[in-house]
Structure 1
Amino acid sequence: MDSASLLQSSILQLTIANNKIATYIHFTFISLITICLCFFLYFLVVVLSIFFTSPPLRENARYVLFVYMLVNDTFFLLSGFTLMLGAIFFLYMPVPVCYILSTVSSMAFRVTPTTLAAMALEKYIAICHPLRHKELCTPQRANVAFTLICTALIIPNVADLGLMTSSYTNIFNISVICRMENLYVNPFQNVLRSLGLALCFVLVAIIILFTYIKITMVAHRVSSQSSSASKARKTILLHGFQLLLCTMSLLSTFSIALSASQAIFLPGFNFFLFSCVPRFLSPVIYGIRDEHLRKLIKKSLTRPLKN
């Protein structure tokens, strides 16, 4: 009896210690993500205020696409943060609410790399076809391009909803822990999602690789454009790095195979490293490296101090 009691006490102490460690890990990731998200939202407000008060920016397709991407990333980060909290604290949500959050998150997840591809093409046209840049890259065309991107990427979600509703008639009467796998009631849902993601990322990777090669060829061939082409080439490389991080986030699905003791930190870790970091790179790429936008941001931030 003494040995059994001692063993039971040891197990209880170990469980309490593991729970404390899990709590500390969760709190650390939640705090870190919250701080970064606040900075991102602040940057979004600054950029939007500059964009809507600066006509030259509104007339540049590059900045139009950038603003669209920032707004899309905001939807993704907010919906993803909510889903992460639900996964960490095992919160039950009605299936319709969970599905809306998951749909917004998954669609926004795919819109970002696709918009990166559109921005890479804009850079390609500016460097390789400068005489046609003003004709092809207009704000109106940027608006149409982003609308077409969203329309094309929502089709898999509509098909997924059709499969889901046809397979589960009591969908609106249950609550689940809001994870993607808990919404799979038809095996074709997972196949459809995997094919959609694979097609999206392969096409984006091909476009980024194509634009990088073409811009590099121009940089080596035309010395008068070498400076702008070199900068554009570095931007395309950063786009590729963003795409790589987004692609690596697909590896988070393998965390399901880990035991509970090994996976306590994975929801926060995966969301921060593979979802937040690629989005936080956007302000660095265009808010700091872009000379014109950097001057406007600096002027906007220092203006209150002068008053």
Structure 2
Amino acid sequence: MLRQALSQSNVTQVGLVERVISSSITSVACLVFLLINAVIMFTLRRKRVFRETSRYILLFHLLLADTLLIASSQVLYLLHTYRISLTYPQCGVLVMLTIMTNDISPLVLVVMSLERYVAVCHPLRHASIITARNTGAAVLSVWILSLLQVVTLVLVLLRFPFDQLETLKMPKQCSSDEIFLLPVLYHCRTAFTALLFTFVCLLVVCSYIGVVVAARSASRSQRDKESARKAQKTLLLHLLQLGLILLSCNHFAVLVFFYSAFPRMIFLRIQAFLYVCFFFLPRWMASLIYGLRDRSIRVVLTANLFCVRTENTF
């Protein structure tokens, strides 16, 4: 029923004005997001202290994955809006890139949460555990794990008899539902997503509990308690971000509800709005959490945004 409802909304004739409105809303939000991320990533690569500090290394890779995800998702959205069909290989590249980068974000958030846990609960061992080398190894593991899932999906997809098709041109617009020609692909993806978010949420919650206990420790100094409280807020924002990402994985069910409750024209505008909320907002929170709340980044970021020269103090 879910796929039928969405396919019916695609087949129905959509006015050019509505297409332009929906694509304009999402494109403007996408460009703003990409601009902010590009400036923050430039800032993180410009200063040596950012390139050698674990938390900033993690932030760079989180923003990189989110940037690739939003860019590929926006391309798919525009293709869907203007009913542009691709071949199966072209669609496969876009969908697999979206899947891989979508899985990287929660895994990097886990590493970032563990880094905050070690910094608050084991401050004396933080410098020896959370090194730039160990952080690089953790980031590499995250990218490899996400890539392995994509490779597995591609290998299973290649079992489909494409040589028996008259043409590789897709009959419908490119999407994960259309590229997953074998039912086992959908089940594998669903199972992996469920396991991933269960694992991620458990680790972030455990990190949060550990930080809360540390914040209430009577033996800690006022400075340590303040650091623990800041880590609590960061981890709470991570949990909110994970919740929004998880919600984005089930946004089709929300779309079906609005599709049955509102006229077609209103539904298209709601669809564009929900797309911005589900896909852009969770990723924008990463820029907010670490980009704007961090004083060190904020000073350099403001200078870069307004093209102001600053002294090289790093």
TM-score > 0.5, shorter chain as reference: yes
2:230 paired residue number: 231
Q: Which structure has the highest helix share of the two? A: 1
Question: Which of 71, 95, 101 does residue 102 from structure 1 map onto?
Answer: 95
Question: Which of 278, 288, 294 does residue 282 from structure 2 map onto?
Answer: 278
Letter in 1 for 2:121: C
Letter in 2 for 1:201: F
> CA offset at residue 303 of structure 1?
4.8
Letter in 1 for 2:236: L
Cα separation, partners in 2 of 1:60 and 1:100, compared to 1, 3 Å? same
The equivalences for 1:45-194 within 5 A come to 45-170=38-163, 173-176=167-170, 177-194=173-190
TM-score normalised by the chain length of structure 2: 0.84
- Aligned alpha-carbon RMSD (Å): 2.3
Letter in 1 for 2:53: N
Higher mean alpha-carbon deviation, 225-234 vs 289-298, is at 289-298
Distance in 2 separating the partners of 1:185 and 1:49: 40
1:209 paired residue number: 205
Report the 3-state secondary structure (helix = DSSP H, G, I; strand = E; otherwise coil) of the residue aligned with 1:211: helix
| Identity level (%) | 25
Letter in 1 for 2:207: T
Cα separation, partners in 2 of 1:23 and 1:251, compared to 1, 3 Å? farther
TM-score normalised by the chain length of structure 1: 0.86
Cα separation, partners in 2 of 1:144 and 1:267, compared to 1, 3 Å? farther
Alignment check: 8 A CA contact 1:87 1:267 kept: no
Cα separation, partners in 2 of 1:108 and 1:90, compared to 1, 3 Å? same
Structure 1 moving runs of 4+ over 4 Å: 256-260
Higher mean alpha-carbon deviation, 41-50 vs 234-243, is at 41-50
Cα separation, partners in 2 of 1:267 and 1:99, compared to 1, 3 Å? farther
Higher mean alpha-carbon deviation, 45-54 vs 201-210, is at 45-54
**2:243 matched to 1:244?**
yes
**2:272 matched to 1:268?**
yes
Report the 3-state secondary structure (helix = DSSP H, G, I; strand = E; otherwise coil) of the residue aligned with 1:268: helix
Report the 3-state secondary structure (helix = DSSP H, G, I; strand = E; otherwise coil) of the residue aligned with 1:244: helix
Cα separation, partners in 2 of 1:45 and 1:250, compared to 1, 3 Å? closer
Report the 3-state secondary structure (helix = DSSP H, G, I; strand = E; otherwise coil) of the residue aligned with 1:296: helix
Higher mean alpha-carbon deviation, 236-245 vs 144-153, is at 144-153
- Higher-Rg member (1/2): 1
Query: Where in structure 2 are there 5+ consecutive unaligned residues?
Result: 1-12
1:195 paired residue number: 191
Cα distance per residue 1:117-141 (max 9 Å; x no partner):
1101111111111111111111222
Higher mean alpha-carbon deviation, 196-205 vs 287-296, is at 287-296
Distance in 1 separating the partners of 2:248 and 2:284: 15
Letter in 1 for 2:184: F
> CA offset at residue 146 of structure 1?
1.2
Report the 3-state secondary structure (helix = DSSP H, G, I; strand = E; otherwise coil) of the residue aligned with 2:197: helix
Which structure has the higher relative contact order (CA within 8 Å, separation 6+)?
A: 2
Letter in 1 for 2:183: P
Higher mean alpha-carbon deviation, 76-85 vs 267-276, is at 267-276
The equivalences for 1:36-47 within 5 A come to 36-47=29-40
Letter in 2 for 1:217: V
> CA offset at residue 74 of structure 1?
0.8
Alignment check: 8 A CA contact 1:246 1:274 kept: yes
2:297 paired residue number: 293
Cα separation, partners in 2 of 1:270 and 1:155, compared to 1, 3 Å? farther
